[in-house]
Structure 1
Amino acid sequence: MAGSKPVSGYTSAHKEGFANIARWIALDRDSETSIYRRFNQLSARNLLYLQCELLALEKKLERLDQNDLDSDDMGLKDEARTWETFMERYENGNQEAKLRKELIADLRARMKEYHEALLLQSEIVKLKRPNKRVLEAYRHWFQKPYPVLGGAAKETLDDSDDLVALNTLPEGDYLSMLLRRHWPATEEVSRDGLYHIGRFKETSITIAVAFISILVASFLLIGSIVGLYFATDDALKLGLVAGFTAVFALSVGLMTNARRAEIFAATAAYAAVLVVFVSGNISNSWPES
């Protein structure tokens, strides 16, 4: 999805309220506009409540364990050691067994809820924040000329730190970002009629970046070899090696998501290939100092 730009004219919304938002989100083929609240504080609070409930159950079980240890009732001790005895006493209506069975059932239910909440939250925290460009377009469409939704829902997009995107862009390199700003897009007039919101397929950006990367990589490899082959002056050869190496490092940094250490390693390997190519032809007859 592209950003927005001023236009003239006005196109009214096709639907109202939640139906209009659902329609607008569904129009994005890459699902970049699937942006929702994360509810970080509420999620943490819910986990804390579940944790405290389990702590209370843990205390009750510890008291039962201590009672089993201190009691002189051999039946109670046997109940604590043997599951069959425990179930028999429970089925016969023994109060201690009934209390223990209720605690076990409560523990299972709350432990299951707690662990499921933990696992879900661990997946939620892995989700990334929405793209700034997409969020700005979404906010403009959502809020202008008036909020699509009323009540508390109209502030849904206000807190950027509490928003999560269900799908984020796979590429964050500078070339991809540059192409997204200028890529031809299907335009949609915003609700206030003052801006166009452009939509395009992310796959088209991916294909374009891959094509440009192949061309640049081919030029840097074939062009450097051809240039060094026809160069006759040793100083010119060294200059070509330095120039092509610098361009290679720059292209890796701008066209890929490589880290600094990876850029350094790739550049060193590229420079080594060029040096090996020309090392047999560079003259060793440098002027003596």
Structure 2
Amino acid sequence: MAAIQADVEAALDEKEYLPGFADFSHFIASDHSLSIYRKFAVLGARNLLYLQAELQLLEINLQELDVEDKRTIATSSNDLEKIKVEKGARSWEELKEQADEGNEKQAGKLRIIYRIRKLMQEYEEALLRRNEVLRLEKPEKSPFNAFKTWFRRRPPVLWGSGFRLLHDEEDMIALGSQDEPDRMSALMHRCLGYRLRVERETPRSWGPMYYYPVERVAFIVGLISILVSAALLVGAIMSLHFVKPMGIRLGLVGIFTTLFAASITLLTHARRIEVYGATAAYAAVLVVFISVNN
């Protein structure tokens, strides 16, 4: 009885959405990271295979007609027939005219050509579209977990075939940018996420939902990056200024250079070659400082 009363109250609440696809679509639209859908990898491959097989069959049929025409030109004792076949093979206008005049053989060839033209366009468009789909990345772990938790609540969000949405989790893709957070951002989400989270007004049936402002996290990580870079540079120069033995100086250069490379890897999305370049420039500055102050 309580459950029925709750359903009635939800139905009368203007802030609640129609259960099912309407409610689910509002949940997905509430944050861009929740734009997660099926890739249909198997169906996509199967569709391309069917198109490919149909094109291959048409290709075989056209080749058979070409061989038959070639044989006619080479062996027929009817000169008029040979000339007509050769004209049809060399001239598009002649091929179409013969087909319009009722030549069933040429009409059949023309139908195959038109079918190939249409199917080839469909096949190439399907290939290009599938290529774009395959470029899409898998969902990021954190929003995907939120997506799964919300979808698998009770009662089920979708019924019928829609209930199988998460039947194969490896078949899911995400729209938009899905860059994995750097290690520092991920650490902040785990350790300080509770303090950074922002609660949005959502339907009561969704339960409490919190969102993490990416801009705020990026600003804090950027500030930390600047402070760490400055500290490593100033700390290295001060250490090299006060330490005179060359062996210890070289050891300090190695230590600070390693720390600098580690900080870049930890705080940024820099690629390996970018880490090498920045580390080499940092080490070069320290070496020049040693040379000048030797």
Cα 1:277–1:260 shift into 2, 3 Å: same
Runs (4+) of structure 1 exceeding 6 A deviation are: none
Q: Deviations over 1:1-52 (max 9, x none)?
A: xxxxxxxxxx978221111111111111xx1100000011111111110010
Task: Give the one of 121, 134, 138 matched to 2:130.
Answer: 121
Which residue number corresponds to residue 3 of structure 1?
none
Q: Deviations over 1:198-236 (max 9, x none)?
A: 213333333333332222222222332234334455565
Task: Give the one of 82, 89, 98 matched to 2:91.
Answer: 82
Which residue number corresponds to residue 14 of structure 1?
16
Question: For 1:102-251, what aligned pairs fall within 5 Å after superposition?
Answer: 102-181=111-190, 182-183=192-193, 184-187=196-199, 191=205, 193=207, 196-232=208-244, 234=246, 237-251=249-263
Q: Deviations over 1:86-131 (max 9, x none)?
A: 1222232322221121111100111111111110111111100001
Task: Give the one of 26, 29, 35 matched to 2:29.
Answer: 26
Contact 1:130/1:168, CA 8 A, preserved across alignment: no
Cα 1:211–1:171 shift into 2, 3 Å: farther
Contact 2:140/2:180, CA 8 A, preserved across alignment: no
TM-score (norm 1): 0.83
SS at match of 2:177: coil
Which runs of no fewer than 5 residues in structure 2 stay unpaired? 1-8
Which of structures 1 and 2 has the larger relative contact order (alpha carbons within 8 angstroms, sep 6+)? 1
Task: Give the one of 88, 110, 118 matched to 1:101.
Answer: 110
C-alpha distance in 2 between matches for 1:177 and 1:169: 14
Aligned length: 268
Which residue number corresponds to residue 286 of structure 2?
274
Identity percentage of aligned residues: 40
Tell me how large the CA RMSD over aligned residues is.
2.5
TM-score (norm 2): 0.82
Higher deviation after alignment, 176-185 or 61-70: 176-185
C-alpha distance in 1 between matches for 2:103 and 2:216: 71
SS at match of 2:199: strand
C-alpha distance in 2 between matches for 1:169 and 1:212: 23
Q: Hey, which of these two has a bigger chunk of helix by percent?
A: 2
C-alpha distance in 2 between matches for 1:118 and 1:249: 42
Q: Deviations over 1:138-171 (max 9, x none)?
A: 1111112332111221231242210000123335
SS at match of 1:148: coil
Contact 1:131/1:168, CA 8 A, preserved across alignment: no
Contact 2:52/2:123, CA 8 A, preserved across alignment: yes
